[in-house]
Amino acid sequence: MFKIMIVEDDFKIREIILENIKKWGYDGMYIEDFNKTFDSFVKYQPHLVLMDVNLPSFDGFYWCNKIREVSKVPIIFISSRNTNMDIIMSVNMGGDDFIQKPFSLDVLMAKVNALLRRTYSYSNVDSNIIQHKGVVLNLKDNNLIYKDIKIELTKNEYKIVYILMKNNGSIVSRDKIMRSLWEDESFVDDNTLTVNINRLRKKLDDVNLKNFIKTKKGQGYIIP
């Protein structure tokens, strides 16, 4: 089931949109705390976003830019603005379509259906991010994001974080992590893994993510 996130501060409009989304058999939700728009996006992991331009605190262009840092999910801007510059801004900021208020629900849903069909007909609908306790791992560019800070990871550091975040709450043995680092018939030895873990922890410590990865002596590592 496709998931659609509505970022709209007009209560009546977002309720009507949500009702129609569900009539079409989609799952939907709308933002209530606009300061947590990006956090909600990461948690919900929608397949499409309907984004108003005029919003409390930060406008839709700001949130579109934040989402584009981690995802290529389709975004349709909804706005009462109607100048060519607004439409150009929407496209330049990463939007996929633009619809002007007041709008026809039939037209909106036609655009939603067409964009979902074009985006996902020949591709996997799985998310391009993994999120845990506010930490976002971007599977597209191997970067880690925490509180708007981007942490560049090496290939091995990315693989370590990936396997631990995918198994968060569970202990992952050193052997399993080393097997995930196997490449070109070269096996990463025990000491090399320790070096990579230490370097990774240093990067995490630098952004106040102390103890994000914990050691379980004689067992392995865990992200609790």
Q: What is the pLDDT of residues 87-107, one digit of tens each?
A: 888 888 889 999 988 889 999
Measured between alpha carbons, how far apart are the two ends of the chain, in Å? Answer: 29
Total structural domains within the chain: 2
Task: Specify whether 144 is located in the same domain as 87.
Answer: no
How does residue 179 score in pLDDT terms, banded at 50, 70 and 90? confident
Are 182 and 88 within one domain? Answer: no
**Closest Cα to residue 32, out of 62, 10, 50, 54?**
10
42/70 same-domain check: yes
Output the domain CATH number for residue 134.
1.10.10.10
Q: How far is residue 123's CA from residue 97's CA, in Å, rounded to a whole number?
A: 20
| Integer-rounded Cα radius of gyration of the chain | 21
Give tens-digit pLDDT for 68-94. Answer: 888 889 999 998 877 778 788 888 888
Q: What does DSSP assign to residue 189?
A: P
The helix (H) or strand (E) run that includes residue 68 is helix 60-68
Residue 15 sits in a domain whose CATH number is 3.40.50.2300
160 and 55 both lie in a single domain: no
Cis peptide before 102 (omega within 30 of 0): yes
Instruction: Note whether 100 and 80 are within 8 A (CB).
Output: yes
Q: Does residue 100 sit in the same domain as residue 166?
A: no
Point out the least confidently predicted range of 35-44, 46-55, 182-191: 182-191
Helix (H) or strand (E) holding 177: helix 174-180
**Dihedral angle at the C-alpha atoms of 64, 36, 54, 108, nearest 10 degrees?**
60
Phi/psi at 80 (5° precision): -80, -15
- Secondary structure letter of residue 187 according to DSSP: P
Residue pair 71/128 in contact (Cβ under 8 Å)? The answer is yes
How far apart, in whole angstroms, are the C-alpha atoms of residue 95 and residue 81? Answer: 15
Q: What distance in Å separates the CA atoms of residue 67 and residue 74, rounded to the nearest whole number? A: 10
62 Cβ neighbours under 8 A, 6+ residues apart: none
Q: For residue 69, give both structure tokens.
A: 């840092």
Q: Does residue 127 have a pLDDT over 70?
A: no
Determine the Cα–Cα distance for residues 25 and 40; give it in Å rounded to an integer: 21
Output DSSP code: residue 36: G
Proportion of the chain above pLDDT 90, given as a percent: 42
The model carries a pTM of 0.64
Q: Which range of residues forms the domain containing residue 167? A: 129-222
Q: Which of 120, 143, 164 is the last residue of a domain?
A: 120
CB-based contact 136:129 (threshold 8 Å): yes
Residues 115, 7: one domain? Answer: yes
CA 202 from centre of chain: 24
